[in-house]
Structure 1
């Protein structure tokens, strides 16, 4: 019951806020671009630093760096699943995700983010299908 009460209070507090999350279609387009190996779209997205732009990101942690890391983990998980549905071998996708998150957890800079996403694109482009 306490959690329900906290949720209701939180919802009332934030329901009239002007901040909104990004439309899901923007995220889906990015995941599909990675899955399909559309390096041009991915590079434009990374160059524009869409991922690290907190506007529309949602707050998973009060600390901005931790918030960005949480979003990176979520993105890695979703990119992995999109690549698997695109034909990448499931275990290869999960190992690539594990590798990226454990061995190369990037500082949230566009350069490091780009290198991680490029790794997925090179592993999964239309070769997925």
Structure 2
């Protein structure tokens, strides 16, 4: 997406906040909502139909929040296929709407579990786009469950091997630190820079991060940059030098050295292997 397209998208969201306040324009729609709501409640009671329980929904979201994949999959077995609400007249549109809700809820559960909001939002956006582009009912449901799995795995990866008590204040600082890192992975990024942005002492930030995350903040930054490099190697055509520059490495060689330490593969070998694998999977 070029700069002009980004600006067009940004402009499209520039709406006067007062326009969001319900006014007379929505009176007719509100009447229809209340009428349909009353009819649905009556029909469901008459037919002894009910939605999947709220407790089941809570267990599913708590599984994601706790990074508990086994519990999540157990929750799926409790779902009743006939106990979903009607969100659209068209069958596929109805399934899509349910899947969109599942993905959105899962992303928020992952954030409560410690996943950086920007990562959660971006993954959520990606799954929603895939759902919108799909018209096969089975694939749609699998996509929604795949999203829940991915969010759960992300949260699980955040849980230290030995869980330590952490104050609410320290957790807030660590979460803010991670969020800053994820947003500023492009370019050079230092502990001092992050601490200054968060108005914290660099030594204090480094100390609480190492104590509660089990690794140095500088190491966390490096690993996250390598993860971005991995995705760029697979899903983009950027050269090794362009990727190194984008991520703030001194040179392609500098990136290559750290990349091989982390993945045990060179940049070229990694791109060749995974792009070939992706084509074969297609």
The TM tier, using the shorter chain, reads 0.7 to 0.9
Q: Could you tell me how far apart the structure 2 residues matched to 1:14 and 1:127 are? A: 42
Distance 1:69 1:49, change over 3 A: farther
Give the equivalent residue in structure 1 for 2:106.
79
Count of aligned positions: 124
Alpha carbons 2:59, 2:75 under 8 Å: kept: no
Map 1:1-129 onto structure 2 (within 5 A). 2-3=31-32, 4-46=34-76, 48=77, 50=79, 53-102=80-129, 104-105=130-131, 107-110=139-142, 112-125=143-156, 127=158
C-alpha distance in structure 1 between counterparts of 2:120 and 2:156, whole Å = 12
Higher relative contact order (CA 8 A, sep 6+): 1
Larger radius of gyration: 2
Q: Scaled by the length of structure 2, what TM-score is found?
A: 0.38
Gaps of 5+ in 1: none
Q: Quick one: structure 1 residues 57 and 16, their matched pair in 2 at CA, closer, same or farther if it must change by over 3 Å?
A: same
TM-score by length of 1: 0.76
Ranges of 4+ aligned residues in structure 1 off by more than 3 Å: 4-15
More helix by share: 2
Unaligned runs of at least 5 residues, structure 2: 1-27, 160-170, 172-282
2-side partners of 1:6 and 1:41: how far apart? 36
Classify 1:86/1:61 alpha carbon distance in 2 versus 1 (closer, same or farther; 3 Å).
Answer: same
User: 1:108 is paired with a residue of what secondary structure?
Assistant: helix
After superposition, the CA RMSD in angstroms is 2.7
Contact 1:36 1:126 in 2 (8 A): no
